[in-house]
Amino acid sequence: MVGDAGLLVSPEFLFAAAQECNVLSSEKVCCPDYLLRKVRNLKPVKTAVVGTGAQVVLEGVRDAVEAGIIEPVLIGDPDVISAYADEIAWSTKDCEIVAAVDEIA
Phi and psi torsions of 21, nearest 5°:
-90, 10
**7: pLDDT strictly greater than 60:** no
Please name the residues in contact with 19: beta carbons below 8 A apart, sequence gap of 6 or more: 26
What does each C-alpha distance from 10 to 14, 25, 33, 83, 92 come to in angstroms? 7, 20, 36, 16, 24
Query: Quick count: other Cβ atoms within 10 Å of Cβ 4?
Result: 6
Query: Does residue 5 have a pLDDT over 60?
Result: no
- pLDDT above 50 for 2: no
54-73 mean pLDDT:
91
pLDDT in tens, 84-95: 999 999 999 999
- pLDDT at residue 1 in the model: 44
pLDDT given at position 32: 82
Domain ranges in the chain are: 28-99
**Is the pLDDT score of 70 beyond 50?**
yes
pLDDT band at 65 (very low <50, low <70, confident <90, very high): very high
Confidence class for position 53, pLDDT limits 50, 70, 90:
confident
Rounded-to-integer distance, Cα 42 and Cα 22, Å: 36
- Whether the per-residue pLDDT at 3 is higher than 50: the answer is no
Separation of first and last alpha carbons in the chain: 15
Beta strands 45-49 and 96-99 are unpaired
Task: Please check whether the domain covering 28-99 is classified as CATH 3.40.605.10.
Answer: no
